[in-house]
Structure 1
Amino acid sequence: MSERAPRPTRADFVAWRRVTTRWRDDDAYGHLNNATYYELFDTAVNAHLYEATGVDVRALPRIGVVAETSCRYFRELGFPDPIDTGLVVDRIGTSSVVYRIGLFQGPDGGPEEEAAAEGRFVHVYVDNTHGAGNRPTAPLPPEIRAAVEPLLRP
């Protein structure tokens, strides 16, 4: 049996974004709903792409579609404290990008060094024309490659 990867820390991530939590993000048990974690992953990745490229990534000739996601939960998150999302790229392929996203929430919005959750998010780039069949299309758009290469960790 293989050993689990260690719990990530802030030092494992490159790009940062702070998001506010909302009352509706919590579930009936008083912690962040599982679906909200995935919304935060999607927002961290796509907000970075929008800001780093300066273009509407939905209008590029090739667009990233989500091919895989996962989440490792370490401790509960919830309203009202903000969440820091850390982003790093694990791999850049010919038609895909593999991201890791760390979610951090300290007491009263303060810093927390260890991630409360870690997500894996895989974008596969496909032709953005109607009827293209959403098959992987290489190479990555140059705007995307330029936006994600600085996030790559060896």
Structure 2
Amino acid sequence: MSKPSAHTPDQYYTHIPITTRWMDNDIYGHVNNVVYYSYFDTIVNQFLIERGGLDIANGHNIGLIVHSKCDYHASIAFPIQIKGGFRVNRLGNSSVEYGVAIFADDSKTACAQGVLTHVFVERSSQKPVRITGKLRAALESAVMPEI
């Protein structure tokens, strides 16, 4: 199985600045692989809250991750400013697949890139619900052609 080529910043709808932290580094002196998933979660949720109006604390509907994947291309280490790329790969009735990436400083290619899939459910029943309203409009605006 071949690894996909590293993406470029222009392949993403928007970019979100992230500051690495001392605790992100592992004993090998670079950001640990599991931390990238935390960055990915931050990128997605910042978009959903700021642009989609998602109320993570009290909203009727919430998104649950049902799939995630990451391909690593280059290591990064604290202290460094990074930016997270965000896009919507596919938008269904109750699910959405995001494309996410991490870019170091002014790097022309991603250090890491991946996908996350959310299924939106009713908070109390955990049953899938349609994505509607402001959230759907925000997600539709971020849909980009397949990479």
Question: Same fold, TM exceeding 0.5?
Answer: yes
Deviation at 1:115, TM superposition (A): 0.3
TM-superposition CA deviations, 1:24-47 (whole Å, max 9, x none): 100000010112101000000001
Alignment-derived partner of residue 105 in structure 1: 104
Structure 2 counterpart of 1:79, which letter? Answer: F
Partner of 1:53: 52
Q: Note the aligned Cα RMSD (angstroms).
A: 1.5
Shift of 1:53: 2.8
Supply the distance in 1 between the matched residues of 2:121 and 2:55 (Cα, whole angstroms). 16
Which structure features the higher share of helix residues? 1
Contact 1:49–1:57 (8 Å) recurs in 2: no
Residue in structure 2 matched with residue 145 of structure 1 by the alignment = 136
Runs (4+) of structure 1 exceeding 4 A deviation are none
Structure label with greater radius of gyration: 1
Give the letter for the 1:32 counterpart: V
Q: Output aligned runs, 1:2-151, within 5 Å.
A: 4-106=3-105, 111-129=106-124, 132=125, 134-137=126-129, 139-151=130-142
1:57 shift after superposition: 3.7
After TM superposition, the score normalised by the length of structure 2 is 0.91
The two structures have a TM-score, normalised by structure 1, of 0.87
Please give the secondary structure, in 1, of the residue aligned with 2:51: helix
Give percent identity, aligned residues only. 36
Counterpart amino acid of residue 112 in structure 2:
A
> Structure 1: where are the runs of 5+ without partners?
none
Q: Give 5+ residue unaligned stretches, structure 2.
A: none
Partner Cα distance (1:58, 1:149) in 2: 23
Moved more, 51-60 or 39-48: 51-60
